[in-house]
């Protein structure tokens, strides 16, 4: 079992002011002060995306999706900055329903986001489609019911879902990075593409024993965010694995160094809230 109290204590002890504000929103729905939200949105480019590096001049699909993760943890997806970012993602969708980084980022992008690479293309498509899916779900919850699956971004997400489903192998595997699997499963789940989503979850379950704690946390948080049943067998197995890998200090290890352990721990709290 995950010790949530110990996880909360770890974030309080080791997180910064933004981390603790994210914790408060996840636990109690307490809105952060406006100046903190303004700070979390800094660096946004006029067209709506965020660059991959400080003072960068070219917006990045992956960096923008990462910022949306942080803003979501602060309850800020309805703010103008997030809406501009989502609209920028819509404008960046390619005719085949996919996303790819700007060619100007070819020399700076990591391998999993490199322009022209088909594995990166699939991962970025799943990431962007996931956040547009989340935004559509939130809009439906906050206002009049929009019967289109995906809400205001229905057509964009549907095109992305078809592109993602078209790359699946019969066994549910996908020709891209691990994270592309659970992001795709989340998108397809909300698009009511039940068979495709279930095949991916089955493939993820087979890979669960070899996943790092950070990957398990990200996977579980992603699937819970789109409303996958808390008793789904993959989520039950993921929580069991997280309980087994929780450290004595209450946190979990990041794949990117101890500086990001708080980020991984917050992902676990997202998955278990």
Q: Are 174 and 201 in contact (CB under 8 A)?
A: no
Greatest alpha-carbon pair distance for the chain in Å reads: 49
Neighbours of 77 (CB within 10 A): 20
pLDDT above 50: residue 147: no
CA 100 – CA 114 distance, rounded (Å): 8
Mean pLDDT value across residues 157-164: 96
Higher pLDDT, residue 11 or 144: 11
pLDDT above 60: residue 28: yes
HSE value, Cβ hemisphere, 13 Å, CA-based, for 85: 33
pLDDT above 60: residue 145: no
Q: With cut-offs at 50, 70 and 90, classify the pLDDT of residue 74.
A: very high
Neighbours of 141 (CB within 10 A): 9
Residue 232: exposure state from Cβ atoms within 10 A (0-12, 13-18, ≥19): middle
pLDDT above 90: residue 144: no
Mean pLDDT value across residues 242-264: 95
Q: Classify residue 116 by its DSSP letter.
A: T
Strand partners, 59: 51
Whole-angstrom CA distances from 97 to 69, 93, 164, 211 are 22, 6, 9, 29
Q: Are 183 and 127 in contact (CB under 8 A)?
A: yes
Mean pLDDT estimate for the chain: 93
Q: Which of 52-56, 149-153, 227-231 has the lowest mean pLDDT?
A: 149-153
Q: What pLDDT, on the 0 to 100 scale, is given for residue 138?
A: 67
User: What is the H or E stretch that residue 96 is in?
Assistant: none
pLDDT above 90: residue 129: yes
Strand partners, 50: 60
Q: What pLDDT, on the 0 to 100 scale, is given for residue 55?
A: 86
User: What is the H or E stretch that residue 193 is in?
Assistant: none
User: How confident is the model over 166-211, as pLDDT tens digits?
Assistant: 999 999 999 999 999 999 999 999 999 999 999 999 999 999 999 9
CA 181 – CA 163 distance, rounded (Å): 13
Q: Are 128 and 60 in contact (CB under 8 A)?
A: no
> Closest by alpha carbon to 156, among 201, 191, 122?
191
pLDDT above 60: residue 68: yes
User: How confident is the model over 32-58, as pLDDT tens digits?
Assistant: 999 999 999 999 999 999 999 888 899
Q: With cut-offs at 50, 70 and 90, classify the pLDDT of residue 99.
A: very high
User: What is the model's pTM?
Assistant: 0.94
Mean pLDDT value across residues 48-77: 94
Q: What pLDDT, on the 0 to 100 scale, is given for residue 153?
A: 85
């Amino acid at each position: 079992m995950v010790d949530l109290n110990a996880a909360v204590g770890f974030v309080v002890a080791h997180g910064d002011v933004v981390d603790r504000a994210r914790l408060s929103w996840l636990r109690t729905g307490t809105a952060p002060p406006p100046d903190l939200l303004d700070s979390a949105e800094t660096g946004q480019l006029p067209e709506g995306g965020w660059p991959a590096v400080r003072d960068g001049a070219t917006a990045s699909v992956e960096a923008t999706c990462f910022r949306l993760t942080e803003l979501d943890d602060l309850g800020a997806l309805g703010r103008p900055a997030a809406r501009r970012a989502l609209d920028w993602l819509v404008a960046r969708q390619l005719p085949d329903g996919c996303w790819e980084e700007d060619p100007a980022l070819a020399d700076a992008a990591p391998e999993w986001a490199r322009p022209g690479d088909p594995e990166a293309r699939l991962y970025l498509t799943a990431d962007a489609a996931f956040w547009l899916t989340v935004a559509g779900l939130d809009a439906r919850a906050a206002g009049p019911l929009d019967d289109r699956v995906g809400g205001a971004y229905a057509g964009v997400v549907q095109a992305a879902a078809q592109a993602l489903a078209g790359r699946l192998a019969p066994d549910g595997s996908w020709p891209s990075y691990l994270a592309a699997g659970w992001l795709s499963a989340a998108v397809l789940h909300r698009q009511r593409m039940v068979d495709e989503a279930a095949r991916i979850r089955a493939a993820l379950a087979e890979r669960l024993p070899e996943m790092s704690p950070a990957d398990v946390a990200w996977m579980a948080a992603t699937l819970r965010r789109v409303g996958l049943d808390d008793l789904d067998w993959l989520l039950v197995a993921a929580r069991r694995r997280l309980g087994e890998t929780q450290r004595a200090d209450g946190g979990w290890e990041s794949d990117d160094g101890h500086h990001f352990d708080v980020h991984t721990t917050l992902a676990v709290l997202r998955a278990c809230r």
